[in-house]
Amino acid sequence: MGGGIFALASDLAIAASPGPALIAWGLVGFGTLMLALSLNNLVLKRPDLEGIFSYAEEGFGKYAGFISGWGYWISAWMGTVAFATVMMNAMGYFFPIFNGTNKLPSVLFASVVLWLLTLLVNHGIESAAALNSLITICKLVPLFAFIVIAILLFKGQVFTAHFWYNVGTNMTGSGSIAAQIKRCFIIMMWVFVGIEGATMLSSRAKQKSDAGKATLIGLFCILAIYMLASILPYGYLSRNALASIQQPGMVYVFREMVGSWGGALISGGLIISTLGSWLSWTMLPAETTRLMANQHLLPRAFGKANRYGTATFSLVLSSVLIQFFLLSLLVTDRAYQIAYSMCTVAVTICYILVAAYQVKYAVQHLKEKGSYWQLAVGILALTFESTAIYFSGVKYLILCSIAYIPGTILYLMARREAGAQVYLSHKEWFSMSAIMTCALLAIVFVLMGRLVI
């Protein structure tokens, strides 16, 4: 559970009224469940595969594995940019210097945190991970306080006043119910990024039969918390008030409910939560590229570990890219939305390939018990993820393709470095050509001003 939950209420209010938001939660929750079940099945059936991108490689070839892994890597460090922006917003509650029009103090402070966490992770992932338990506790206390108070102060007449749309002001151009649901998708999918983490560890359970139960229980608990934290505020403030409230939304909604101490409590929890997520996601890109290098999808330099077992080159490269995007805070007010949108679209590419391999594996083992159920799960997951990436914004998918230009060059270098013949099947040539064409068009459209970030 990352820091995105603290901005859910205001982000959703901009996108939709409570009725469409509830429908969207049902759809996203069901689709995420299908993905989690697919991952859980593949972990149990193919424990020999390491890394989420391995399913794409096993099912569809080396280049598909690279596409998945590179997308996962992009998602990991773009997510960190989102964490940095939301943490600085929370810091602004205590220190006004981080809340003004001058964003330089925020960028400087976020940069210091970035490189301190990079240094910490570079000196041993295990020692860094030990902080996560304390961080989780500090995160949950303010969340539950917010939910309890929001239930007590819930006003039915406010919640149902404009349940499906706001005819009077329509400040966000809500349009049809379907359009509102569509706008909710990328916001909701962002908070579920990382759902694969728990399922990927299910192979370590003492009894593998318990892994599926744990996945279901955990997912339903997280979904319930997300729904309560985002829907209950509609019963305290009007949608227009929620949509225009200062970010992070939960901080200022709780301050409206109980006073300044409430805002301070949520801000403190948000800062701690974001630091925890930032720490974990500092580890993630380095670990992803290390595994890719081990499977010859990236050059050996990405997998070379220091004496603490950390892939220093990959870690530093990711931090340099994050630093570059942190500088964008100086010129845009939409850094958080851009970062989490790019992160969500990039990781959805991986999820689509996971679901596709779930379908392929089920078809190849139709004689096994439960295979038709697993086939249905895979088809539903694939349909959901494919639809979601369309709903989330095709322009972000097109922008992501630009990052595959240097990535593909590195992939070809890795194949040659490994001594393997750089051979691509017709399907792989087609995929590479399509991605490169899309990337070049994206660059042209951005330069022409036809594709606005």
Question: pLDDT tens digits for 177-199?
Answer: 888 888 888 888 888 887 776 55
For residue 297, being part of any structural domain is answered with: yes
For residue 388, being part of any structural domain is answered with: yes
For residue 382, being part of any structural domain is answered with: yes
Residue with tokens 């569509």: 182
Question: pLDDT tens digits for 32-43?
Answer: 999 989 988 888
pTM tops 0.85, yes or no: yes
For residue 321, being part of any structural domain is answered with: yes
The answer to whether the CB of 17 falls within 8 A of the CB of 180 is yes
The answer to whether the CB of 289 falls within 8 A of the CB of 310 is no
The answer to whether the CB of 225 falls within 8 A of the CB of 5 is yes
Confidence of residue 133 (pLDDT cuts 50, 70, 90): low
| Res 146: pLDDT | 92
For residue 425, being part of any structural domain is answered with: yes
For residue 453, being part of any structural domain is answered with: no
For residue 93, being part of any structural domain is answered with: yes
Confidence of residue 447 (pLDDT cuts 50, 70, 90): confident
Q: Report the CATH number that the domain containing residue 439 is assigned in CATH.
A: 1.20.1740.10
CB-neighbour burial class of residue 101 (10 A; exposed 0-12, middle 13-18, buried 19+): exposed
**Taking 60 as the threshold, does the pLDDT of residue 200 lie above it?**
no
Domain that holds residue 236: 3-448
Compute the mean pLDDT over every residue in the chain, rounded to the nearest whole number: 83
CA-to-CA distance for 51 and 55, rounded, in angstroms?
Answer: 8
CA-to-CA distance for 451 and 404, rounded, in angstroms?
Answer: 18
**How many domains would you assign to the chain?**
1
